Structures are given as C-alpha cells and as structure tokens.
Amino acid sequence: MTPRIDSRAIVRSALRAERYAVLATEAAGQPQADLMAFAAVAEGRRLVFATRRDTRKLRNLADNDRVAVFIDHARHEFLRAPRRLGITAVGVAHEVNAARRGEALQAYLRRNPDLEAFADSPECTLVEVDVESYRIASGVDRVEHCRVEDCVA
C-alpha cells in the first residue's frame, strides 16, 4: 500500500472509532489542552465540539483561532508491533453560526447521544474546527503528514 492510502485508512478509522480528543488552544503564550467529545463532519474535513460559553478555551479561540486536535487511536489494526497510534488534526476553530448549528448539532449528537442535555443547554455552544491537515504518528520514529483533501477524500 502507498502511504497516501494508509494515511486515509488510518484517519478514517480513527474518526470512526474514537469519540474523544484533546483540543489544544493558546492565548497570550499560555497553552491549554482539554479532553472533549467530538464528531467528524464532512468526512473529517471538520470536527465539532460542544463547550460551555464561559470557558477559557473559548476565550483562547477569540485570541488565536489556530488549534491542534489530538486523537489517541489505541484501537487500530494498522501496526504489527505493539505501538501507539495518534492522529493530530491541525486547523482553524470558530463558533458554529446559527445557520449551521442544526447540522453541526445533529452530527455531534449522533456521535454523542449521552451529551444531548449538555449540548442543548443555553450555556453551551458548538465549536467547529476546519481541518487543514492531519499528522499520523505511529511511535516516536514515524510521522506522516497529509493535507485534509488527501486524507479524507
């Protein structure tokens, strides 16, 4: 198999199998990482999270909308040796606007039905990451990069 096909299969598998990811934000030189439930939209071109409106991560996004989203893909069939596999999505995050909220909320709740009360609450908002690229790390010695168009098409 070519690396491109491997990358596509790995990203698709991770987005299908995993419900949680770590969202990394930054503001004023201070990093922050938060474990979040997520859903992939548009075959992984976008990732959707729900968060309370009064959080530091949301304030961070107002200062710097560039983010990284790390998905620990422990359940995988791609490596023969006992190694970890992690996927990092890199992109730009923004609050979901009213016109797109219904679609984003449906995708989020299909993936995370147990979070319906939280996602529907007035103090909650949806954040969407427009993914630009994925990095696939399989252990410490192998990292592959692929543009989102090549990983999810």
**pLDDT tens string 74-133:** 765 655 555 678 889 999 999 999 999 999 999 999 999 999 999 999 999 999 999 999
pTM over 0.75: yes
* Rounded-to-integer distance, Cα 124 and Cα 103, Å: 16
Q: Which residue type, as a one-letter code, is found at position 45?
A: R
**If you compute the radius of gyration of the chain from its CA atoms, what whole number of angstroms results?**
15
- Classified by CATH at the fold level, domain 3-152 comes out as Pnp Oxidase; Chain A (2.30.110)
What's the confidence (pLDDT) of residue 1? Answer: 35
The DSSP element (H or E) to which 118 belongs, if any, is helix 116-120
Higher pLDDT, 149 or 81: 149
